[in-house]
């Protein structure tokens, strides 16, 4: 009887500990409503929003990709794009919700969110957002429509 009880107790403990693991794991300071990883858009402005503990300081900065010629070769650097008429920082209010509209430049933009909670713990979230013109998107869709998938499938089957 005791031999049967021990495995059940051990399995029960393992299950309970596995269920508690997400609760025990250190949560991030910021929880974004929509991740900012590899976004492609035709909208010049996007909203960065999410949740954080009240009194958390948040900075949202946007960097645009700039190319320069160095010894005849093209080199890319990130240059901060100062948001016209907007402060980079904000402090989360008592509801815990925050939102910030940011403007993008054409091409690839790096969005960096830096959060510091009241306990001085810091979290940095980075993502790439690509702003394309409507003409570029139209051209890409047209190229897809012109692509003959039937010929490719026939070629694969041969």
pLDDT tens string 65-123: 888 888 888 888 999 988 888 888 999 999 999 999 999 999 999 999 999 999 999 99
**Following DSSP, what letter does each residue of the chain receive, concatenated?**
-HHHHHHHHHHHHHHHHHHHHHHHSPPPSEEESS--SSEEES-SEEEEEEEE-TT-EEEEEEEEEEEEEETTEEEEEEEE-PPTT--SEEE--TT-EEEEEEE--SEEEEEEEEEE-TT--EEEEEEEEEE--HHHHHHHHHHHHHS-HHHHHHHHH-
Domains and CATH numbers, the chain: 2-157 (2.60.40.10)
pTM of the model: 0.67
Residues 9-45: pLDDT tens digits? 665 656 555 554 444 444 689 999 988 888 999 999 9
């Amino acid at each position: 009887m005791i031999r049967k009880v021990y495995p059940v107790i051990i399995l029960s403990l393992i299950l309970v500990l596995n269920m508690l693991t997400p609760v025990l794991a250190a949560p991030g300071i910021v929880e974004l409503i929509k991740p900012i990883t590899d976004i492609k858009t035709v909208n010049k402005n996007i909203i960065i929003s999410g949740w954080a503990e009240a009194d958390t300081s948040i900075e949202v900065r946007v960097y645009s990709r700039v190319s320069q010629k160095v010894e005849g070769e093209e080199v890319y650097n990130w240059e901060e794009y100062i948001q016209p008429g907007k402060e980079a920082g904000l402090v989360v209010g008592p509801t815990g919700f925050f939102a910030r509209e940011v403007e993008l430049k054409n091409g690839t933009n790096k969005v960096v969110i830096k959060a510091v909670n009241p306990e001085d713990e810091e979290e940095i979230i980075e993502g790439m957002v690509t702003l394309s013109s409507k003409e570029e998107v139209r051209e890409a869709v047209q190229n897809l429509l012109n692509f003959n998938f039937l010929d490719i499938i026939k070629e694969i089957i041969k």
